[in-house]
Homo-oligomer: A and B are copies of this chain.
Amino acid sequence: MMTGENRVMKHQDLRKFQSSSFQIKSSCAIRMLTAKLQLADAELSLKLGRNVLVHTSGRIKTVESILAKCRKKGYEPTYENAMEKINDIIGVRAVCSFEDDVYRMAEILYTHKDLKIIKKKDYIKEPKSSGYRSLHLIVELPIYFQRETQWVRAEIQLRTPAMDFWAGVDHQLRYKKGKKEAILIGEELKQYSQAVAELDQKMVELRKRIDAI
Contacts and interface: CB of A to CB of B under 8 A. Distances in A.
Interface string A143-155: 1111101000000
A42 interface: yes
Contacts of A161: 161-162, 164-165
13 contacts: A24-B42, A24-B46, A31-B35, A32-B32, A32-B35, A35-B35, A39-B144, A54-B55, A112-B144, A114-B144, A172-B207, A192-B203, A195-B199
Interface of A: 20-21, 24, 27-28, 31-32, 35-36, 38-39, 42-43, 46, 50, 54-55, 97, 111-114, 142-147, 149, 160-162, 164-166, 168-169, 172-173, 176, 179, 181-182, 185, 188-189, 192, 195-196, 199, 202-203, 206-207, 209-213
Nearest to A31: B35
Nearest to A28: B39
A199 B202 CA distance: 14
Contacts of A31: 35, 38
Given A111-B147, A169-B203, 12 more contacts: A28-B38, A28-B39, A36-B144, A39-B145, A43-B146, A97-B168, A114-B144, A162-B162, A181-B213, A185-B213, A192-B202, A192-B206
A146 B55 CA distance: 22
A31 B38 CA distance: 10
B182 A213 contact: yes
Given A169-B203, A169-B207, A142 B162 contact: no
A208 to B, nearest CB: 10
B149 A113 contact: yes
A202 B162 CA distance: 13
Contacts of A172: 50, 207, 210-211
